[in-house]
Structure 1
Amino acid sequence: MEIVENLFKGFPELWGGGVAHSVMILSLVITLGLCLGKLKVKGVSLGLAWILFTGLVFGHFSLNLDEHLLHFLKEFGLILFVYSIGLEVGPGFFSSFRRGGKALNGLVAIVIAISLVTAIAIFYISGSPITTIAGILSGAVTNTPGLGAAQQAYSDLRHIDAPTIASGYAVTYPMGVLGVIISFIILRFVLRIRREEEEKDAERGMGHLEDITLNTFSIEICNPAVDGATVKHVHDLLKRDFMISRIMRQNQNIKHEVVNGHTELHVGDTLLIVARPADQDPICALMGKLSDIDWNEQNSELISRRILITRSSINGKTIGQLKIRSQFGANITRVNRSGVDLVATSHLKLQMGDRVTVVGDELSISHVENMMGNSLKRLNDPNLIPIFLGIVLGCFLANVPFFIPGIPERLRLGLTGGPLIIAILMGYFGPKYNLVTYNTISANLMLRRFGLCIFLAGVGLGTGHDFVQTVVSESGLIWILYGLAITMIPILLGGIIGRYVFHINYFTLMGVLAGANTNPPALAYANEMTPSDTPSVGYSTVYPFAMFLRIVTIQILIFVFG
């Protein structure tokens, strides 16, 4: 019985209560939190936030860890979490601002600015400490990295911890999830959404996603002006990116032909084309009319296959440099990177983990497979060098001092901002300089979840002593009202601006607004509303920028008002 009591309370003769005590308490908090995270009410779950709530209960009953050990665990977990996010979003961070992503990310910036203005207004009106407001803001927008960034920034600024940051986060997080969903329902009626029309546009990819998604369609050439022209000549005329996956000649028995820039087009030919939705009408206007041919019924030796790039020698090379058409007689028609399809232009640089769609005969495709790897086993071997090297560089950047006018203190990016920026830069520039930064989605997710679980458990255990008193007091209810205001006002105003100023499709708009709050439960609700994947595409397009802004702006908030 004494052993059991010591495991929970700690061994008095050992530092920090002993390793067994510390590991057991931490693991127990995480296990119970993960189990509770499986619970759903009408499809909505608080997920990993339950780890924080479990830690608060343990902390309230003094089932705790040594404060120095707890501080280390929180910081270490936060670094792993933030760095893995940076590696994931890095490859698409800067490209998300191109074409259709500009307007979507612009709307995200507006939504985040409104949430900051709302929080600052509450700060001045209520007279609450900025640490409380920062915690309420983090919970209201369900942004856990923002919680860590606020704690780190205040610790760097005042050299003490602020428990009210975590308390404010925990109190407002549940309503932060529900508030976005309630706002979506309100917007549906305020904007007078006609669901069928919105779904038709969403399925076609129209709106701001038409520049960042791909459609596959067939065209029968009818324009005599194109007769005898080469594919390269048509490309030069249209000045748009598209790929011809297959061609079927009229009155010819040729069923096996790989298209390249020198291929001549003739009236009566039927083409299978991969292009952005925005480019479909101009292509049809030049070439001819849409065709409903079933390519699966055509007796052709050509096949289509997706190949996974797992060979490090391919990393950073352009499609043109590989000379796949001339060497193997095959074509790359599209590239899928982090869930987003890209047109396979000759100047597009390939990265480890890309999935390329290749068209050719069986022998040609087998040669392309050998060149690119297509080995899941190779990707399953985790690439740890960029992780630990990046963390080293992130720790250096975290401690580089800088100044903000009006603030006498030397400020630092801290252990949230430093590793995040390094990870984004390595994720984006790594492939350009042949540095392999790719890890499988499962490996990245495992690292991210592991770090987040440790961080949330540490935060809960460290602030649980005074949490219950805060919740049952009058101030707890007021915090919830503040959180609802910070959650719903930006979403409602952002929805109206996105609809009437940026003219964004409703289902895309829901994904973008969910991404602005980095809110997976809200995205799940949006996905249930439509069979199209436009909410997910909108979410993934703005998520990198939204996450970066949330982390940076809350640190500035602490630095300016703290």
Structure 2
Amino acid sequence: MLWHLLAAQPEIALFASLAIGFLIGSFKLGPIQLGGVCGTLIVALILGQSGARISPDLKNIAFALFIFALGFTGGPQFFANIGKGWRYGALSVVEVIVVVTLVLCAVKLLRLDAGTAAGLLAGGATESAVIGTASEAIGRLGLDAAETARLQANIVTAYSVSYLFGLVTIVLFASQFAPLILRVNLREESERVWRKLGGDGALAEGQTLAMPPLVSRELKVTAAAGRSLGELEKQFGQNISVQRVLRDRSVIKAQPSLVLKAGDRVLVGGRREALVAAIPVIGAEVGGGGLPDVYVERVDVMLTRPELHGLTLAQARARVAPQEGRGVFVAAVTRLDSTIPALPGTQVHRGDVLTLVGNKEDVARGASKLGYIIRATQKTDFVFLGLGVLLGIAVGRLSVRAGGIDLTLGTGGGCLLAGLLFGWIRSRYPLIGSLPSAAAQILKDFGLCTFIAAVGLSAGADALRLIREFGIALPLAGIVITLGPALASLVIGRWLLKLDVPMLLGAIAGQQCSTPAISALVGVTGNATPVIGYTITYALSNVLLPLLGPLVVGLASKMG
């Protein structure tokens, strides 16, 4: 009865796959968590035995929206890291070369068809988007409907089997095995790097700072009498700022030229360590109440100035004239929805979101020197979104012939490139193209999982056949394809590129586009230093790996 209901109303099978799949994907076994995509696919493969099928049109629309949103959110970081982020970006190139080589070796040794080869690529590289680009490529091979359906089903089955083993492999490699190979204590090394970047201690899991990095105090001037505000602030590297001055019950505007007098009461804000050192130089701390309340603002600013790309926060502050950077402090740095340490030694990239703290006037001035303020909005620019997807579809129809193989990006590759372009345009011209991060995340999550559920339902009948045909070979191949580029990057990154171990391991997790791996890694290190390397390779690999789908399909079909 249930099977007949699912076949008659496939929308029930679709939403059941999403609901049950995300429930399964939420369970954790140590550092391993399948995630909603893999969970959805497993449930869809089971429910697909009922004969439930989703319209191909819905599947194509869902994938187009997902891949465009993926490119849109990663566009600023992708273009920012081409060239200047070459040390980390080189690891994404290593990933591409080694993965393709290993997949083609598996095609030769195991006599894999194009669909199984593409699924092995998607699972071994733990990149779900490859399923969509490879499925489209198979649809353009000119095969009959039955053979096309069989090869597309093989993509999904090979992915589901190899992904599980690839996921476990990359999580354990990044967080456990790689530090053993390098003979380093990962937590101690991460603390060392944290301090090198200007941090004063690392946080363990579940800990928060009892003493926040940005603080303010009300002081009575004694020792600093006769000194100007500008002189005092310069002495402490512009890491403190006098916000208010009370003299003879009158509030005086705090400006660099103002000379303090004994008995003045001042409100000083800034970085905690600098303020602690400044207190005895200025005077003595007193109870609050004498000065009017001072309110600070927190605003998110998209960094767009090319001359600041690649500089550390300390270097960026040093380049700014004291009067322009006065009273502005960076509380957080967000890159690709990941928070990285906002330390003096942290490098910033174009496309980063900097959270500025200070009074309204100072923050507005600082934002104008960095980029533009991201205004809170819940509205999506559907004109921009629609034009982007249309351009992606048009680009996807273009094809070139190389070595006897027709290479076409398809809707997936075209929408990915269009998303990159439109995301970059949005970062340069913020008045157009609004796509709030929450809306973009919904497009990515729902679009990908709807697509995955649709192809899983259609592949259900062929899944058991492929597993019986190859047996343990597919899981082993998935492990090798995951481990190969990780080992190569470990050697190249450590001994050739001289990368710090926490950032290197984060970059290896990023080149595999593995969120579970970076989560496990951060848990082991006790701080966010691995995220610095992760965001760069994640941005690049999220673009490069999906484009390999049509390439592998074309090469495997010629070899088969």
| TM-score, reference length from structure 2 | 0.73
Distance 2:358 2:500 in 1: 33
Is residue 82–residue 420 contact of structure 1 (8 Å, CA) maintained in 2? yes
Mark the CA change 1:336 to 1:556 in structure 2 (over 3 Å): closer, same or farther. Answer: same
User: Could you tell me how far 1:176 is from its partner in structure 2?
Assistant: 1.0
Quote the RMSD (CA, aligned, Å): 4.4
Out of 41, 44, 47, the position equivalent to 1:58 is 47
- Choose from 167, 187, 193 the match for 1:202: 193
> Structure 1 residues 298, 177: closer, same or farther in 2, change over 3 A?
farther
* Residue 521 of structure 1, aligned match among 495, 498, 516: 516
Contact 1:131/1:165, CA 8 A, preserved across alignment? yes
- Of the three residues 427, 430, 446, the one matched with 1:431 is 427
Which of the residues 411, 416, 422 maps onto 1:420? Answer: 416
Query: How many Å apart are 1:550 and its aligned residue?
Result: 0.3
2: CA distance between counterparts of 1:127 and 1:478? 11
List gaps (5 residues or longer) in structure 1: 11-20, 208-215, 219-226, 235-241, 265-270, 275-288
Structure 2 counterparts to residues 312-331 of structure 1, below 5 A: none
**CA deviation string 1:128-148 (max 9, x = no partner):** 223212211211121100121
Q: Which residue of 2 aligns with 1:463?
A: 459
The residue that corresponds to 2:13 in the other structure is 25
Deviations 1:416-436 (Å, cap 9, x if unpaired)? 110110110111123324553
Aligned length: 476
- 1:384 alignment partner in structure 2: 382
Give the structure 2 partner of residue 481 of structure 1.
Answer: 476
The letter for the 2-side match of 1:385 is V
Q: Which residues of 2 match residues 94-113 of structure 1 at below 5 A?
A: 94-97=79-82, 99=84, 101-113=85-97
- SS of the residue corresponding to residue 472 of structure 2 reads helix
Q: Work out the CA distance in 1 between the residues paired with 2:279 and 2:433.
A: 38
**Quick check: 2:75–2:420 contact (8 Å CA) kept in 1?**
yes
How far apart are the structure 2 equivalents of 1:255 and 1:196? Answer: 49
Contact 1:243 1:343 in 2 (8 A): no
State the distance in 2 between where 1:24 and 1:196 align: 47
Structure 2 residue 163 is matched with structure 1 residue 173: yes
SS in 2 for 1:466: helix
Distance apart, 1:456 and its partner CA = 1.0
The residue aligned with 1:357 is: 356
Q: Any idea what SS the aligned residue of 1:306 has? A: strand
Letter in structure 2 aligned against 1:420: L
Corresponding position of 1:536: 531
SS of the residue aligned with 1:541? helix
Note the alpha carbon deviations across 1:18-72, whole angstroms, 9 max, x for none. Answer: xxx1322211222221221122211421112111111111112x2412xxx5322
In 1, distance between residues paired with 2:472 and 2:253? Answer: 70
Please tell me whether the aligned partners of residues 214 and 270 of structure 2 are also in contact (alpha carbons under 8 angstroms).
yes
- From 103, 123, 129, give the equivalent of 1:119: 103
The separation in 2 between residues aligned to 1:329 and 1:193, in whole angstroms, is 40
Q: Does 1:449 align with 2:438?
A: no
- Which residue of structure 2 aligns with residue 246 of structure 1? 240
8 Å CA contact retained: 1:246, 1:257: no
- Structure 2: where are the runs of 5+ without partners? 199-212, 216-226, 260-267, 309-319
Q: Distance in 2 between matches of 1:491 and 1:123?
A: 21
In structure 2, distance between residues paired with 1:199 and 1:368 = 31
Matched, 1:46 2:44: no
Distance 2:496 2:543 in 1: 24
State how far apart, in whole Å, the 2-side matches of 1:489 and 1:317 are. 38
3-state SS of the aligned residue for 2:461? coil
- The structure 1 residue matched to 2:299, chosen from 272, 282, 307, is 307
Which letter does structure 2 place at the counterpart of 1:192? R
Task: Call closer, same or farther: CA 1:243–1:89 in 2, change over 3 Å.
Answer: farther
Partner residue in 2 for 1:545? 540
Q: Deviations over 1:477-515 (max 9, x none)?
A: 111111111111221221122111112222212211111
State the shift of 1:5 in Å: 7.1
Runs of 4+ in 1 over 4 A off after TM superposition: 253-259, 271-274, 289-292, 294-304, 314-320, 324-337, 339-344, 348-351, 353-356, 362-369, 372-375
In 2, Cα distance between the equivalents of 1:356 and 1:59?
47
SS of residue in 2 equivalent to 1:158? coil
Q: Secondary structure at the match of 1:357?
A: strand
1:193 is the counterpart of 2:184: yes
Q: 1:537 to 1:465 in 2, by over 3 A?
A: same
Q: 1:129 to 1:408 in 2, by over 3 A?
A: closer
Tell me how far apart the structure 2 counterparts of residues 113 and 124 of structure 1 sit (CA, whole Å).
17
Letter in 1 for 2:385: I
